[in-house]
Amino acid sequence: MATAAAQGTARPEADGARNTTGDEAEYQHVFDAAVAADERIEPRDWMPDAYRATLVRQIAQHAHSEIIGMQPEANWITRAPSLRRKAILMAKVQDEAGHGLYLYSAAETLGTSRDELLDKLHSGRQKYSSIFNYPTLTWADVGAIGWLVDGAAITNQVPLCRCSYGPYARAMVRVCKEESFHQRQGYELLLALSRGTPEQHAMAQDAVDRWWWPSLMMFGPPDDESQHSAQSMAWKIKRHSNDELRQRFVDICVPQAESLGLTLPDPDLRWNEERGKYDFGTIDWTEFWEVLKGNGPCNEQRLTQRRRAHDEGAWVREAAAAHAAKHSGGTEAAGHRTTGAERA
Amino acid sequence: MTTTGPATVPVTAALALGDDALVLSHRLGEWAGHAPALEEEVALANIALDLLGQARVLLSLAGDEDELAFLREERSFRNLQLVEQPNGDFAHTIARQLYFSTYQHLLHAELAAGDGPFAPLAAKAVKEVAYHRDHAEQWTLRLGDGTETSHERMRRACDALWRFTGEMFQPVEGLDVDWAVLESRWLESVTRVLGRATLTVPEGPRTGAWSAGAGRQGVHTESFGRMLAEMQHLHRSHPGASW
């Protein structure tokens, strides 16, 4: 922001751009300079259509992941084994709904609407993270999701706090703070199980065995197969490649697994002195693409539940809208008016 | 909680209040991932969390919170039958919230004003419950005075739960409350909210001879045992384990 202003080349606004298309090249130049200078692009700034479209796609997918991601964990709220754990889990699922709300708001600054995005989720035209297509089969899965899935999400999202698009970057700052907390809670849950009875330890190990590889897949396809990577990195939406982030995550997790007293299900996992990083085995990319195409264990179930909640809630949203319309003269919902008495 | 140890707290009352909060929290927790709008995911989970927090304090006054929550059987729970009623549609959940949060707000305000063992707890809870009550009242207005469909659903929900409301005013041993005054304030408040929502106060009885005070004595409705089976299953499968 500072540079453009200092140079006296105030960033053109999007509305202006449409009126004077001849200046497009100049706008592009200002945009490129702002990105190069690590400035933030804001909603009223001119931006390339493809930049806008990529951000909408990515932020929407991120928001959808928060919303669908409530399901595998909510699956255990009613069965949590202690009241303390139940409270932690409820708070976490509530946070996820809140993250979804921040992210839909961030996407809306780009000229779309939450309703439109939800419609695309429900009709399968926009995706959510493939990790949430795996089932939570035991209580330990709640811990594995916290430790591994939230851990992978944080590894992905911390660099997004410096993303070139301001509203997304700011949403990520808030989201990451809460996610880090969830991640520690997940770790602590697994630690309690690992140090518990033999049955609890086995439950924890089984969960880690099932969630490890899907968590590595959260970083997306390998760099040479990632369609959006190069452009996103040039625009400073992404700061690191999929494989870089995946490696960083593995390097963080291995010592954590050791202190948990659990093993990671990869016979090829070993320290590489030369690289100063862990080598690890090959991801089953066939599985990854299958899940992405909709053929994972829970794809159908997740989308069906989301659609059902939306459809069954339609009359409630319609009621709220009708009520607001009737009382639009006053502040939002009734509360301060005496409509009942007037009608009676 | 600093001045009152378990020895001085009336256990019957702690269990009654604690079980109400525990069971309603559980029911609201069932909404997670199913709410009609994202804002309601947040709101319902928020209320559930408040109630769970209250339950934990109250049950801890009566004993070990997890033993009490996970190892008692149906006949030992002291919650109102109202709070164990299944969620039904959103209108049923809101009607249950309206009836209960109005009661809980009035009750906690009275306990907070007194100098009994529950005064400190009630002083904290009353702030949370004021929010719950506001949420329930606002939704009662939106649904009652919304569309024809929502009006009809809200009317049916209010009617269906009405017969569980009398039980709230059966005296609870250890709570120094003027129950008749509480009941008249409750009736007045609910009547006013329903009126503003273009609904009428249901006509049926507020208790049956078969149900008066039943939940408080450990006599529950059929769905409650199934709810407990789900809630307690994992804890009971690992006797003595810590989590």
Predicted confidence at residue B211, as pLDDT, reads 63
Nearest CA among A181, A157, A154 for reference residue A252: A154
In angstroms, the CA A91 to CA A99 distance is 12
Chain A residues with CB under 8 Å of B22 CB are 83
Q: What percent of chain A has pLDDT over 70?
A: 89
Do B147 and A98 lie within an 8 Å CB cutoff?
A: no
- Please provide the average confidence, as pLDDT, over all residues in chain B: 94
Chain B residues with CB under 8 Å of A197 CB are 238, 240-241
- Following DSSP, what letter does each residue of chain B receive, concatenated? --S--GGGS-HHHHHHHHHHHHHHHHHHHTTTTT-SSHHHHHHHHHHHHHHHHHHHHHHHHHS-HHHHHHS--GGG----HHHHS---SHHHHHHHHHHHHHHHHHHHHHHHHS-STTHHHHHHHHHHHHHHHHHHHHHHHHHHTS-HHHHHHHHHHHHHHHTTSGGGGS--TT----HHHHHHHHHHHHHHHHHHTT-----S-S--TTTTTTGGGT---HHHHHHHHHHHHHHHHSTT---
Predicted confidence at residue A230, as pLDDT, reads 87
Predicted confidence at residue A343, as pLDDT, reads 39
Give the closest of B33, B40, B146 to A70, CB-based: B33
Do B153 and A313 lie within an 8 Å CB cutoff?
A: no
Mean pLDDT of A117-140: 96
Do B145 and A326 lie within an 8 Å CB cutoff?
A: yes
Predicted confidence at residue B212, as pLDDT, reads 55
Predicted confidence at residue A344, as pLDDT, reads 34
Do A318 and B59 lie within an 8 Å CB cutoff?
A: no
Mean pLDDT is lowest, of B70-74, B158-162, B213-217, for B213-217
pLDDT higher than 60, residue A31:
yes
Mean pLDDT of B104-132: 95
Q: What is the pLDDT of residues A263-296, one digit of tens each?
A: 999 999 999 999 999 999 999 999 999 999 999 9
Q: How far B1 CA lies from chain A's nearest CA (Å)?
A: 18
Global pTM value: 0.92
Mean pLDDT is lowest, of A201-205, A224-228, A300-304, B199-203, for A224-228
Give the confidence band of A3 by pLDDT, cuts at 50, 70, 90. Answer: very low
Give the closest of A196, A316, A334 to B90, CB-based: A316
Those of residues 110-169 in B touching chain A at CB distance below 8 A are 137-138, 141-143, 145-147, 149-150, 153
Do A82 and B143 lie within an 8 Å CB cutoff?
A: no
Q: What is the pLDDT of residues A77-89, one digit of tens each?
A: 999 999 999 999 9
pLDDT greater at residue A204 or residue B6: A204
Give the confidence band of B213 by pLDDT, cuts at 50, 70, 90. Answer: low
Give the confidence band of A330 by pLDDT, cuts at 50, 70, 90. Answer: low
Do B37 and A100 lie within an 8 Å CB cutoff?
A: no
